[in-house]
Structures are given as C-alpha cells and as structure tokens.
Structure 1
C-alpha cells in the first residue's frame, strides 16, 4: 500500500500557475504536421525543468523523456502528440488566450487555440504530472517514459510507432488524448480503401463509344449506403461505419473526354468481432454485386489504424479509475474515443494502454478549440496518481 498522503503530496507539487502558463505558451507555437521542431524543443525544455532523468529528441523529432523508477514495479509509457491540424477559418488560432468558457456553456476559464485540446496542453499536463512525482519524493516502482510524438494527424508511422519499433518498451501505457478526465479503454479501428473503376475513354460528343467510369461507380455508391445501415454496434466502442471520403475522375483536364478512371477513398471503422480481412471482403462483395466484370474495378487497403481496446480489469485501467476517483470523489465514466489515437500502436506493440487526459474531444479540429484550465489541473493530478498506482500497485489517497 502507498502512504495515504501520496495524493496530497502530488497536489502540493503541482505548480498551477507554471502549468497553465506552459500550456498557453505551447499553444502559441505553431506546429503543423511535419513542422514540429520548435514545439519539440519547448516540450523538451519543460521535461528538463520538471527534472526528468533523461530527455532526447530522436531522428524523427519525437521527444522522449524518462523518470527512472526504483525497480520494484512495472514501467509505463505515456503518449501524446505535438502536431495539430490546419487552422481553417479559426480566428487567432495561436493566441493561447485565457477566455471565459461560458461562451461554450461551460464554467471557469479556458485556453483558446489550435492544438489546445488536441493535444499540446495534454502533453504539457503529462510532463508536469510526471515531474510532480519527483518533486513530491514519490519515486515510481518502474520507469515512466514520456513520448511526445510527431505527425499523428496524418497517421504517420514516424511517431510512437517508430519509437516502439526501434525497441523502446513498457509494461503499460497511458494516452493523454482528451477524455474529459474520464477513463477511456480504446477506440474503433480505421481502414482506408482505395477503390478504382476502370472504363474506356471516348470523345464526350460520342459517349456511347466509351465506358464512363463515373457511371460504373454509381451502383456501388448506392449499395454502400445500404450496407452502412446494417453494420454492427459495439456497446463500448460505438457503431461500425463506412463512408466515402474522396472521389476523383480522370482525365479531368477540361477536355471533352469521357473519363476512364474513377478513384475513390472509402473509410471503414470496425469494431470488436470484425477484422480488416472481413471488412475488405465485404467491400469486394459489394463491388462484385454491382459490377459483375472484375476488370472494371479494384480495391486496395492503403491505411490501417488498428482497433484499440484494453479491458477494465487491466492493472492500468484500475489505476486510472482509482486516480480519477481520488480526485473527483466519484467513479469515472468508462468510455471510448470516437476518433483514433496513437496509443493504438502501443496496444499493438503489446503495451496495454488506456486513455486519461484533459479536454473534450468534440472541440478537436473545430474553430472553437479550447481546453478548460481546471480540467488541465485535475487531469494532471489524475495522471500523476495513475502512474504511481500502476507502478506501485497501491492506493493513491
């Protein structure tokens, strides 16, 4: 059992003004995917200020910091990404301004800006949570490894996946993507298929001389919509879904030509009980039913973001539940993300991983992206407690 003063010691060790100021600063640093160098150096400086034992920026730009444990318990990998999506129509996206969150029907103050809840403030919160353990004199049982990774928004393999593939390992994992301070067990898997339809060009004044690839695709589109309505529902992860996310015909250069090629991207989210092979087989079945000539179409899996799931009885889940209960005084909601997170690659690498982080995922990628300051502080308290509990196997009160 851990001392019943551990939670109080953690709270005393978290410097609230420094934490919020660091979160404001990190939002003010633009870090589009592929251009994360400046924010990586800032995160590394935060790790050093929090007295991490080792800090490095690897060849891909991932920031990796470690606080060593005493060797008595399991190790934990903590993950969050430092890139963000384009700003779109967002006004003053890098202000990092403190604003009254009542404008969104919430209470208290919030930090506004692109990348605030998705998810640079979450990364800073995790760094400060790990640092709080050292300042509180609470050495974890195993090493705590923080990986702030790059290029997550484009599903790149250069982030935590590359870190794991080169040999870095831990016994458990925590993703600090936004969970509103609740405990998330995973998310659906994502498959992206490239579907092509092959026709025959002709002069547009004589369309009967050709085979219009656009027309070849229409029956498939109709049948795909019917298929979408019959997909299974997962009680935790949500519904399996399918949708077309892109479509292009060619030639498409303004000349009078019947197009002989349509290229389409199909997004398929799958749940427990399904697999990439099953999903691709079903897509192929629809293609065969709507285009009996196999020479008229092809399908290829071009991206796979694996399904993520860690059971509720896993030690890391139980540690997160205990941590949230200690801070909030109530049992947390057990849920799942609607989108995908890089923690899935930790799960894939046999590191059981759950989610525990500040912020509401519904604001990610929107012009109103923000994160509550109280949420940041409380999530920092929870992450520190969860790390101590899973590495020490005890109470966090």
Structure 2
C-alpha cells in the first residue's frame, strides 16, 4: 500500500476528524464522569466501520478492527482534569475554539486529540483495505487522570487482553517517546499531644515534629538516583495538613503528601525506606506509607490500587521502536525525534508492571496538559491519523521479514 494513499486519506478526513474532536471536547469528562463521552466515541467508532465495539465493566471502551492473530493496541485516556479558574481561559474550555491551525479546549492535547486521530485511522484502514493478520484494538480508557494505569491493569488482569505492543497517543508533538519516569504517592504522619494553646509546653506539637522532616526531604531530593536517558528521581512535598482540637490548641497530628518520581533502578520499597531512614523521621516516630486509590468508576465498579506507578523504558533498538521510526520516515520523508515524556502515562501499567512493550506517538504538546487555554494542532491530528493507520501493517511486515522461512 502506498504511503501516499494513506496521507491522502488522512487529509481527506480532516474536517470529520476536527468536528469529532470538537464534539468530544464539548462533553465534560473528568475522572469518574466519562459515561457520556464514552458513548459518543462508541457511536463514532461504529459509524466509521469498526468491526466490534465493547465497553468493559470498568467503563473502558474497546474498539476492534480486523480479525488477525496478532493483537496490536493503541490507547487514549478520555478523562480530563478540571478547568480550574475560568478567569485564566480566553475561551470556554468545553465550547472550545478553532482557527486554521489549532483546536482549543479542555482535553484537546491531553488527550482526546489522540482518540480522534485513532478513530479516523481505523476508518482509513477499512477504506484502503489495510487489514492483515492483525487485530487492532483502540482503547478509550477511564480514570487515568486520577490513577494512571489503573484502566490497563483492569484490561490486562481482568479482561486477559495482552497485546504484542501498545501505542500510547498521549501528546508527544509527533515525536516518538519510548519511556518516562515512574511515580508514587507517599504519606508521612506525625503524632502529638494536644494542650491549650496558652500552655504549649504541656503538649507535644505534631507540626513541630514534622518541620525537620520537611527540611530533610528537601535535602534528600538532591541525592536521588539518576539515569542517562530518563533523568533523575525527584521528590517534593505536595500537601501538608494538621489536626487539632481547635485553633487555640497544640496540634496533635500532622501529615504531608510527597510526589515521588522514580527513575530506572529505583523501587517503591527503596523509596519508602530512604524516607524512613532520615534521622528526623526516626526521631519523630513518624509513619511512612503509600497512599491507595479507592474510587468507583462511572460504572460503579471499585478496583483498588496502591499509588505506585513504575518507570519504564523501551530499548532504542527494540522492534517496536524501529517500526515506528521506519513508518515515520516512510510517511513523512524525514527522521523522527526520539525522546521521553516528563509526565506519567498508562505505560506505567502496560510496560512498567506487565512488561508489554509500549511506545508513544501523539498529537499536541505535553506542555498543554492541564493548562488553561489548552489546544492541539490540526497538522498533528492529520499526521497521527496517518501514522496510526500505517503502524500495524509496518509492524507485521517487519515481523515477517525477521521470521525464518521453512
């Protein structure tokens, strides 16, 4: 199949793709409230010719094209964060905006744009007869913004779906991303004894016990492990809270939350132990533990998870990485940039926990994620639709080239 025909088809469906993106951006879909947008995407998948479309018990959307023996998946989470202070927006975040170059609105880069490109890649595959001995699974996943990877843990562990590899369509500016640091959410707690605020010497102030811990955590951040490609592990105190009988009493409890970013070679056990070994933590008798996530999906299903999301890295010479690079060159007649994400994605479960090769290629910019006036670029959407249509065939071709002939 000529790459030129794929590019022409992606260009031909540009207006349909843009309108579909405008439609799904207009449907608010914060984590736990995705039902309506899932139904709208399901409707579009069926309209453009997907062979089978299902919704699993967690609420993830699973759209299939083809009936071949090799399962290839492409993923977009379709939940978004909130819009924050509307005074920071120049336009309505759900009504959105559009001009010759961009489409604006909450979720356009993070990451409903990826979904729009995938759905129309499916239409291109069907129209041009690009099916082969593969099945393409396009997933619209839920609750990622609250708990990245939870959706794919459910897909892998409960639905028993294990693709040969997964393309994440999180924003990459049409670059190829092959990994990112992991993360975990940690809680540190100190206990005190309350007394009247007029006689603080009668009590033990839990906030005072926490203060040196915060200072030592700031120092620990400078000593964390580094990796030549993914970068350095980091930590930051993201929340602090306390309890007290009143504002006229000594605090009898204090907690902090830590956002811990993990690089290759770091483990959740090691990250907790580093904090437990701090002199201030030992002196305060503080407890150090991981948060867990227990929140029902829009279907009402509870699927609890510890808040640990491991780092992952696909090797540069991996067959999947080479396939995307070759596909890019074949389509666009230039070499791609290969890089990594700063933030976290569903890859933490797909490859980080389950070892299924994962790679990123998506429309929009990482810097647009969670920001006011979020936008994506029309040229990115078209390029990505072409890439997504071409990747399965390219992978199968490379697979057959490497298999020995009998």
The verdict on a shared fold, with TM-score over 0.5 as the criterion, is yes
> Aligned partners of 1:312 and 1:291: how far apart in 2?
41
8 Å CA contact retained: 1:179, 1:357: yes
Alignment of 1:162 onto 2:151: no
Q: Tell me which residue corresponds to 2:274.
A: 282
The Cα offsets for residues 22-72 of structure 1, whole Å up to 9 and x where unpaired, read as 11111111111111111101111121122111101222221101112443x
Distance change >3 Å, CA 156–CA 329, structure 1 → 2: closer
Shift of 1:258: 0.4
Give 5+ residue unaligned stretches, structure 1: 100-107
Shift of 1:394: 7.2
8 Å CA contact retained: 2:243, 2:253: yes
Distance change >3 Å, CA 381–CA 285, structure 1 → 2: same
| Aligned match for 1:355, one of 352, 355, 360 | 360
Alignment of 1:246 onto 2:239: yes
> Aligned partners of 2:112 and 2:132: how far apart in 1?
24
> Aligned partners of 1:260 and 1:85: how far apart in 2?
34
8 Å CA contact retained: 1:31, 1:39: yes
Q: Tell me which residue corresponds to 2:24.
A: 26
8 Å CA contact retained: 1:93, 1:113: yes
> Aligned partners of 1:290 and 1:394: how far apart in 2?
55
| Aligned match for 2:139, one of 147, 152, 155 | 147
Give 5+ residue unaligned stretches, structure 2: 292-306, 401-406
Shift of 1:122: 1.0
> Aligned partners of 1:174 and 1:291: how far apart in 2?
42
Alignment of 1:222 onto 2:211: no
> Aligned partners of 2:229 and 2:335: how far apart in 1?
17
> Aligned partners of 1:118 and 1:203: how far apart in 2?
49
* SS of residue in 2 equivalent to 1:39: helix
Alignment of 1:298 onto 2:294: no
> Aligned partners of 2:281 and 2:131: how far apart in 1?
63
Shift of 1:156: 6.1
* SS of residue in 2 equivalent to 1:234: coil
> Aligned partners of 2:359 and 2:282: how far apart in 1?
45
> Aligned partners of 2:107 and 2:360: how far apart in 1?
18
> Aligned partners of 2:172 and 2:17: how far apart in 1?
19
Alignment of 1:336 onto 2:370: no
8 Å CA contact retained: 1:140, 1:392: no
Alignment of 1:232-271 (within 5 A): 232-251=225-244, 254-271=246-263
> Aligned partners of 1:349 and 1:48: how far apart in 2?
30
8 Å CA contact retained: 1:55, 1:65: yes
* SS of residue in 2 equivalent to 1:264: strand
Alignment of 1:327 onto 2:327: no
| Aligned match for 1:131, one of 120, 123, 144 | 123
> Aligned partners of 2:282 and 2:150: how far apart in 1?
40
> Aligned partners of 1:201 and 1:394: how far apart in 2?
68
| Aligned match for 1:54, one of 26, 48, 52 | 52
8 Å CA contact retained: 1:182, 1:324: no
* SS of residue in 1 equivalent to 2:237: strand
The Cα offsets for residues 142-164 of structure 1, whole Å up to 9 and x where unpaired, read as 11111111111100665222111
Q: Tell me which residue corresponds to 2:114.
A: 122
> Aligned partners of 2:317 and 2:148: how far apart in 1?
31
Q: How many residues align?
A: 377
8 Å CA contact retained: 1:248, 1:262: yes
> Aligned partners of 1:235 and 1:328: how far apart in 2?
29
Q: Tell me which residue corresponds to 1:17.
A: 15
The Cα offsets for residues 101-149 of structure 1, whole Å up to 9 and x where unpaired, read as xxxxxxx510000011001111111121122111111113311111111
Q: Tell me which residue corresponds to 1:104.
A: none
The Cα offsets for residues 4-32 of structure 1, whole Å up to 9 and x where unpaired, read as x1x12322333111111111111111111
8 Å CA contact retained: 1:141, 1:392: no
8 Å CA contact retained: 1:27, 1:121: no
TM-score of the aligned structures, taking structure 1 as reference length: 0.91
8 Å CA contact retained: 1:184, 1:335: yes
Q: Tell me which residue corresponds to 1:93.
A: 93
Shift of 1:191: 1.2
